[in-house]
Structure 1
Amino acid sequence: MLDALRQPLESGESVIVRANHRVSYPSRIQLVAAMNPCRCGRAGEPGYSCRQGNSCAERYQARISGPLLDRIDIQIEVPAVSAADLALPAASEGSAEVRRRVVAARQIQAARLKELGQKRARTNADCDGTLLEEIAEPDGAGLALLREAAETLGLSARGYHRSLRVARTLADLDGETKVTRLHIAEALSYRGETLRGQRAGGPALNRLACA
Structure 2
Amino acid sequence: MIRVVLVDDHELVRTGFRFIIEKQPDMQVLGEAGSAEDGLRLIRTHRPDVALVDVHMPGMSGVELTERVRRARLPTQIVVLTVVEDARFPRRLLDAGALGYLTKGCNADELVRAVRQVAQGHRYLAASVAQQLALSTLDGAESPFEALSVRELEVAMMLVRGKPVNAIAAQLHLSAKTVSTYKQRLFDKLDVDNPIALAHLMSAHGLLDPQAEGLRR
TM-score, normalising length: structure 1: 0.26
The structure with the larger Rg is 1
TM-score, normalising length: structure 2: 0.26
